[in-house]
């Protein structure tokens, strides 16, 4: 039920039959590109809307409620405003790098979206090293942030970029190790394989406590990686006004802004795929009736439901925690998360070797 | 001051100078902190004030006492009632008149309410300085209740000019007592919520404990008063040292801590809110009857010098009036708490990170118009 493989295969077959391999590939690429870009922008806008509504709820406010029903089009209006805004060019800024930085940031997050499995068959590329690919691509964004900070010719921006560089490079380790735990369990780096390995139970349940630890560490490190929440030192508005994007305006600022939200989505989507069973429905023991009802809900809903849950968690601690200081941030990573993570990995390797996981 | 001068010589060399302010989210006004950084670390700070200097003291020389009162609201706008009270008390002392008990009670209640309101706003903004954005809305939500009470009785929310030499502008609203009692009951349930959100948070404690330590000696040397001074163990509460209005009649504790770090400056203010509620509770049911305004023919201070100090939400406010017997002062000088509190910033934040600088300046609770006047 709800298998998209047939649909994607038939499109693929149609293209291959009617066009030469070169044109078929090109058309497939264009189709995918348009789909992903549309999906990206719509999702980005509604994540911004969701965050504004959720934080409003936490702060005794109403949130956007004027444009459209329940303010649903508020972020669209904001985007139009940002599109029409004047782009400010800064004297003595490095024009080429200054202009290219937001594109690097946003391109990195768009590329990562391509590897995420939304449902069975609904995945742009199913690489055999999918996890590695997503990790590598999503950390490319930091190059854009560093360039933005450097090219702006602003002291606040440089400090912000410097912080962001230190932060992302450190937390990359924790993200990688936390994911390695699940790779050890599943025995594969291919995202579809990892999902398939969770057919009889999600890793967070059947991976014992180590999987839970890995999940928590992944959430913390993932939040740090997206420059959000208590780890938003790169922006730190009360210290650095806006950090690395202080000097950006209009649509270039919007690129940074959208990329931040999409990075959050990517982290949540990876957490869903690796720990929470991806698009697989929730099954309980051998209760066939219950399981069949769960099967009836389409996998896309399962995927987005779980992702939304993780995103809600990340928003929750963004809006209730104070910000860490840079040295505390690095202490947390190098002195606590990394050693715990390494021990956790050893434990998981042992469990996998003994076949003690369910 | 000597250290600052030495540091200015260093400035000649290539240093990473960053101007925090005059427009910056965490200076809470038009204050410019010329900050020298070494990486993330603050080497020294030179505060530049004067961006919102309005010449209140000079202007006051042309105004009569009831008129110049309205300018005092604009100094420390978060404790407007207390500023009014300082001038009113000074002029009353000069004229050697006594206001009725009713006026004293109402003045004290209003002063304590504005202290609570001021601390609420400070708590809200302090959380925001540290990156916890939700505190801002919690603080403002509860402050709104006090402002509503003010609005009902005084006709104005922020700068009331309600307490004048000789009494009060008008009597309190009939609802005043009931609403204040309701507020006390309401806010006692909300204060633990403040602690849940911020005080108990691990990140918050890590960010504030042991940061920006101000020793008692330094507090006295620099004249740091108010909650910032009391956080260092400096007994400087004017309400205890030189009680005025209805303070001799009430029982309350002066909150002091010996530690002197950012966290304890924070705790002083959190505990002061409880104390202020206690003070109001002792007075609110016992407001005696009496006249609201003394029947004074003319408000003129006799020739001479007069000084009065009061405890505002930020520290000791002194009013020094030199009178030549006319209806307006020959010279007036305000000893504002924020001016003294600001200049200790270099001393206590040098060597800390730039994020700590924001936390420390937040914990000093600066109101910039009070610095410049």
Verify whether the Cβ–Cβ distance B131 to A326 is below 8 Å: no
Give the pLDDT of residue B11: 52
**Residue of chain B whose Cα is closest to the Cα of A325:** B355
Checking if the pLDDT of B12 tops 70, the result is: no
CB distance A180 to A270 below 8 Å? no
Verify whether the Cβ–Cβ distance B203 to A159 is below 8 Å: no
**Residue of chain B whose Cα is closest to the Cα of A61:** B137
Give the pLDDT of residue B13: 60
**Residue of chain A whose Cα is closest to the Cα of B28:** A238
Verify whether the Cβ–Cβ distance B40 to A241 is below 8 Å: no
CA–CA min distance B237, chain A (Å): 31
Distance between CA atoms of residues B124 and B121, nearest Å = 5
B372 token code pair: 């410049």
pLDDT digits (tens, 9 = 90+) for A318-355: 888 888 888 888 888 889 988 998 998 888 888 888 77
Residues of A in contact with B357 (CB under 8 A): 239
**Residue of chain A whose Cα is closest to the Cα of B136:** A59
pLDDT digits (tens, 9 = 90+) for A204-224: 777 778 888 888 999 888 888
pLDDT digits (tens, 9 = 90+) for A167-180: 888 888 888 888 88
* Mean pLDDT over each residue of chain A, to the nearest integer: 83
Residues of A in contact with B198 (CB under 8 A): 322
Verify whether the Cβ–Cβ distance A239 to B358 is below 8 Å: yes
Distance between CA atoms of residues B355 and B207, nearest Å = 9
A77 token code pair: 């209006």
Residues of B in contact with A155 (CB under 8 A): 16, 18
CA–CA min distance B2, chain A (Å): 28
CB distance B31 to B51 below 8 Å? yes
Distance between CA atoms of residues A306 and A312, nearest Å = 10
pTM beyond 0.90: the answer is no
Distance between CA atoms of residues B162 and B155, nearest Å = 9
CB nearest to B26's CB, from A59, A239, A325 = A239
Verify whether the Cβ–Cβ distance B137 to A61 is below 8 Å: yes
pLDDT band at residue B351 using 50, 70 and 90 as cut-offs: confident
**DSSP 3-state assignment of A297?**
coil
Question: Of A312, A220, A60, A240, which Cα lies nearest the Cα of B134?
Answer: A60
CA–CA min distance B240, chain A (Å): 35
Distance between CA atoms of residues B106 and A332, nearest Å = 52
CA–CA min distance B42, chain A (Å): 12
Checking if the pLDDT of A1 tops 60, the result is: no
Checking if the pLDDT of B3 tops 60, the result is: no
Verify whether the Cβ–Cβ distance B203 to A324 is below 8 Å: yes
User: Averaged over A34-63, what is the pLDDT?
Assistant: 86
Q: Which of A55, A318, A325 to mutate to test the interface with B (most CBs of B within 10 A)?
A: A325
pLDDT digits (tens, 9 = 90+) for A99-122: 888 888 888 888 888 888 887 777
Distance between CA atoms of residues A176 and B157, nearest Å = 55
Per-residue CA distances from B279 to A343, B18, B55, B69, B234 (Å): 56, 44, 35, 26, 22
B154 token code pair: 């005084």
Distance between CA atoms of residues B214 and A114, nearest Å = 55
Checking if the pLDDT of A83 tops 80, the result is: yes
Cβ-Cβ pairs closer than 8 A, A with B, add up to 82
Least confident of A8-22, A47-61, A334-348, B162-176: A8-22
Give the pLDDT of residue A119: 77
* Mean pLDDT over each residue of chain B, to the nearest integer: 86
CB distance A174 to A220 below 8 Å? yes
pLDDT band at residue B8 using 50, 70 and 90 as cut-offs: low
Distance between CA atoms of residues B24 and A270, nearest Å = 37
Neighbouring C-beta atoms of residue B19, cutoff 10 Å: 14
pLDDT digits (tens, 9 = 90+) for B66-110: 888 888 888 888 888 899 989 999 888 888 888 888 888 988 999
Distance between CA atoms of residues A63 and A49, nearest Å = 9
% chain B with pLDDT above 70: 96
Question: Omega of the bond prior to B356 within 30 degrees of 0, cis?
Answer: no
CA–CA min distance B277, chain A (Å): 24
Residues of A in contact with B353 (CB under 8 A): 325-327
CB-hemisphere CA count at 13 Å for A194?
32
Distance between CA atoms of residues A18 and A23, nearest Å = 9
Q: Which of B45, B131, B140 to mutate to test the interface with A (most CBs of A within 10 A)?
A: B131
Q: Which of B23, B32, B355, B356 to mutate to test the interface with A (most CBs of A within 10 A)?
A: B355
Give the pLDDT of residue B9: 55
Verify whether the Cβ–Cβ distance A323 to B131 is below 8 Å: yes
CA–CA min distance B147, chain A (Å): 18
Residues of A in contact with B134 (CB under 8 A): 55, 58-59, 319-320
Give the pLDDT of residue B5: 52
Neighbouring C-beta atoms of residue A256, cutoff 10 Å: 23
CB nearest to A238's CB, from B16, B37, B131 = B131
Per-residue CA distances from A291 to A205, A272, A297, A307 (Å): 16, 19, 10, 21
% chain A with pLDDT above 90: 1
CB nearest to B355's CB, from A60, A230, A325 = A325
Checking if the pLDDT of A156 tops 60, the result is: yes
Q: Does A232 touch chain B (CB under 8 A)?
A: yes
Neighbouring C-beta atoms of residue B35, cutoff 10 Å: 23
Distance between CA atoms of residues B299 and B166, nearest Å = 8
């Amino acid at each position: 039920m709800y298998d998209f493989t047939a649909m994607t295969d038939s499109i693929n077959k149609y293209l291959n039959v009617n066009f030469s391999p070169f044109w078929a590939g090109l058309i497939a690429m264009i189709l995918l590109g348009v789909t992903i870009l549309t999906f990206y922008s719509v999702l980005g806008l509604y994540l911004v809307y969701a965050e504004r509504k959720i934080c409003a709820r936490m702060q005794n406010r109403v949130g956007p409620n004027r444009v459209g029903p329940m303010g649903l089009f508020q972020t669209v209006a904001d985007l139009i405003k940002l599109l029409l805004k004047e782009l400010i060019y800064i004297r003595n800024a490095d024009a080429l790098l200054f202009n290219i930085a937001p594109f690097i940031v946003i391109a990195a997050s768009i590329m990562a979206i391509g590897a995420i499995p939304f449902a069975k068959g609904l995945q742009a590329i199913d690489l055999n090293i999918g996890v590695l690919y997503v990790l590598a691509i999503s950390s490319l964004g930091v190059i854009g942030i560093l360039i933005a900070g450097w090219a702006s010719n602003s002291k606040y921006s440089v400090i912000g970029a410097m912080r962001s560089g230190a932060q992302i490079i450190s937390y990359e380790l924790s993200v990688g190790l936390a994911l390695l735990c699940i790779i050890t369990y599943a025995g594969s780096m291919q995202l579809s394989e990892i999902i398939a390995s969770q057919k009889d139970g999600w890793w967070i349940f059947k991976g014992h406590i180590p999987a839970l630890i890995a999940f928590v560490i992944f959430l913390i490190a993932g939040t740090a990686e997206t420059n959000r929440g208590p780890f938003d030192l790169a922006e730190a508005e009360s210290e650095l006004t806006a950090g690395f994007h202080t000097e950006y305006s209009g649509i270039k600022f919007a690129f940074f802004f959208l990329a931040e939200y999409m990075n959050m989505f990517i982290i949540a989507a990876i957490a869903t795929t690796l720990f929470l069973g991806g698009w697989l429905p929730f099954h309980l023991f051998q209760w066939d009736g219950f399981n069949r009802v769960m099967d009836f809900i389409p996998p896309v809903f399962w995927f987005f439901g779980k992702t939304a849950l993780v995103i809600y968690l990340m928003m929750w601690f963004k809006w209730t925690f104070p910000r860490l200081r840079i040295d505390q941030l690095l202490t947390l990573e190098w002195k606590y998360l990394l050693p715990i993570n390494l021990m956790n990995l050893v434990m998981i390797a042992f469990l996998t070797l003994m076949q003690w996981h369910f | 001051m000597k250290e600052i001068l030495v540091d200015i010589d260093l400035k000649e060399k290539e240093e990473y100078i960053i101007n925090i302010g005059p427009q910056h989210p965490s200076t809470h006004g038009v204050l410019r902190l010329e900050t020298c950084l070494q990486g993330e670390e603050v080497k020294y700070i030179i505060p530049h004030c004067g961006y919102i200097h309005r010449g209140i003291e000079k202007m006051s020389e042309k105004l009569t006492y009831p008129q110049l009162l309205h300018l005092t609201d604009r100094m420390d706008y978060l404790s407007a009632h207390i500023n009014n009270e300082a001038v009113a008390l000074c002029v009353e002392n000069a004229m050697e008149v006594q206001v009725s008990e009713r006026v004293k009670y109402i003045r004290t209640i209003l002063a304590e309410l504005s202290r609570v309101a001021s601390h609420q706003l400070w708590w809200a903004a302090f959380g925001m300085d540290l990156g916890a954005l939700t505190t801002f809305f919690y603080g403002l939500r509860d402050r709104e209740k006090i402002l509503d009470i003010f609005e009902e009785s005084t006709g104005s929310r922020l700068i009331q000019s309600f307490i004048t030499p000789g009494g009060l502008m008008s009597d309190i609203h009939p609802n005043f007592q009931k609403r204040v009692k309701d507020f006390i009951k309401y806010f006692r349930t909300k204060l633990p919520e403040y602690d849940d959100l911020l005080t108990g948070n691990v990140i918050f404690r890590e960010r504030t404990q042991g940061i920006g330590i101000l020793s008692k000696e330094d507090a006295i040397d620099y004249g740091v008063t108010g909650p910032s001074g009391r956080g260092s163990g400096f007994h400087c509460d004017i309400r205890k040292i030189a009680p005025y209005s209805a303070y001799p009649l009430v029982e309350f504790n002066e909150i002091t801590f010996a530690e002197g770090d950012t966290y304890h400056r924070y705790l002083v203010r959190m505990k002061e809110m409880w104390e202020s509620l206690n003070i109001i509770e002792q007075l609110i049911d016992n407001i005696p009857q009496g006249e609201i305004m003394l029947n004074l023919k003319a408000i003129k201070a006799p020739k001479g010098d007069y000084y009065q100090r009061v405890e505002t939400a930020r520290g000791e406010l002194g009013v020094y009036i030199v009178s030549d017997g006319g209806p307006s002062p020959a010279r007036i000088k305000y000893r504002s708490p924020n001016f003294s509190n600001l200049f200790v910033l270099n001393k206590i934040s040098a060597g800390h990170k730039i994020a700590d600088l924001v936390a420390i300046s937040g914990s000093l609770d600066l109101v910039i118009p009070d610095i410049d006047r």
